[in-house]
Amino acid sequence: MNANELIDGAEAYFRERYEKIVDFPFVTRPTIWICDHEAPASRRCRFCERGPSEAVTFRLKAHAGPELLGSKTIRTKNECDECNRRFGTGIESHLGNRLAFVRSVTQVKGKNGAPSYENPSRSMKITHPRGKQTFTLTDKSLFDKALASKGEAFSFDLPADAMSMMHVPSEAFKALIKIACSVCPLGELPECRPAIHWIMTGSRPYISNHLVVRTFTSGPGDAFTSKVILLRRKQPGQEPYMWCILQVLNHSFQFFVPFCPSDTAIMKAGTVSIPAWPYRPDNIPLQLPHDTFDYWKEDWSSTQEEQISIKAGFHVQKAWVVNGPNTSEELREDGSR
Contact call for residues 214 and 251 (beta carbons, < 8 A): yes
**What pLDDT is attached to residue 326?**
52
**Tens digit of each residue's pLDDT (9 = 90 or more) over 118-158:** 887 787 888 988 878 887 777 777 667 767 776 677 777 76
Check whether residue 180 and residue 294 sit in a common domain: yes
DSSP 328: S
Position with higher pLDDT, 202 vs 72 = 72
Check whether residue 68 and residue 217 sit in a common domain: yes
Check whether residue 208 and residue 326 sit in a common domain: no
312 belongs to a structural domain:
no
Distance from chain centroid for Cα 267? 26
User: How many domains does the chain fold into?
Assistant: 2
The verdict on whether omega for the bond into residue 115 sits within 30 degrees of 0, i.e. cis, is: no
The length of the chain is 337
Tell me the pairing of strands 32-34 and 74-76.
Answer: parallel
**Tens digit of each residue's pLDDT (9 = 90 or more) over 169-194:** 999 999 999 999 999 999 999 999 99
Distance from chain centroid for Cα 309? 17
Exposure string of 293-303, with b = 16+ CB inside 10 Å and e = fewer, is bebeebebeee
Please report, for residues 24, 255, 282, the alpha-carbon distance to residue 14 in angstroms, rounded to integers and kept in the order given.
18, 14, 12
Contact call for residues 274 and 211 (beta carbons, < 8 A): yes
- Distance between CA atoms of residues 122 and 234, nearest Å: 50
Check whether residue 22 and residue 155 sit in a common domain: no
Check whether residue 11 and residue 41 sit in a common domain: yes
110 belongs to a structural domain:
no
Among left, alpha and beta (phi > 0; psi -120 to 50; other), residue 11 is alpha
Check whether residue 324 and residue 282 sit in a common domain: no
- Distance between CA atoms of residues 222 and 284, nearest Å: 11
Check whether residue 286 and residue 138 sit in a common domain: no
118 belongs to a structural domain:
no
- Distance between CA atoms of residues 170 and 209, nearest Å: 10
Check whether residue 53 and residue 27 sit in a common domain: yes
Is the confidence at residue 17, as pLDDT, over 80?
yes
DSSP 165: P
Could you list the residue range(s) of the whole structural domain that residue 142 is in? 125-161+319-337
Check whether residue 67 and residue 201 sit in a common domain: yes
Is the confidence at residue 331, as pLDDT, over 50?
no
* DSSP for 71-138, written as a single string: --SEEESS--HHHHHHHHHTHHHHHHHHTHHHHHHTT--BTTBSPPEE-TTSSEEEE-GGG--EEEE-
Contact call for residues 97 and 166 (beta carbons, < 8 A): yes
**What pLDDT is attached to residue 282?**
77
Please report, for residues 108, 119, 232, 326, 328, the alpha-carbon distance to residue 122 in angstroms, rounded to integers and kept in the order given.
22, 5, 45, 11, 15
208 belongs to a structural domain:
yes
311 belongs to a structural domain:
no
306 belongs to a structural domain:
no
| Closest of 70, 53, 75 to residue 115, by C-alpha | 70
Number of Cβ atoms within 10 Å of the Cβ of 285: 11
Q: Which residues, 6+ apart, have CB-to-CB distance to 139 below 8 Å? A: 123, 159, 160, 331
Check whether residue 66 and residue 215 sit in a common domain: yes
Check whether residue 72 and residue 214 sit in a common domain: yes
Number of Cβ atoms within 10 Å of the Cβ of 330: 21
Distance from chain centroid for Cα 57? 29
Check whether residue 130 and residue 246 sit in a common domain: no
**Tens digit of each residue's pLDDT (9 = 90 or more) over 212-232:** 999 988 877 777 889 999 999
* Mean pLDDT for all residues in the chain: 84
**What pLDDT is attached to residue 337?**
37
DSSP 56: -
**What pLDDT is attached to residue 329?**
42
Amino acid at the residue 136: T
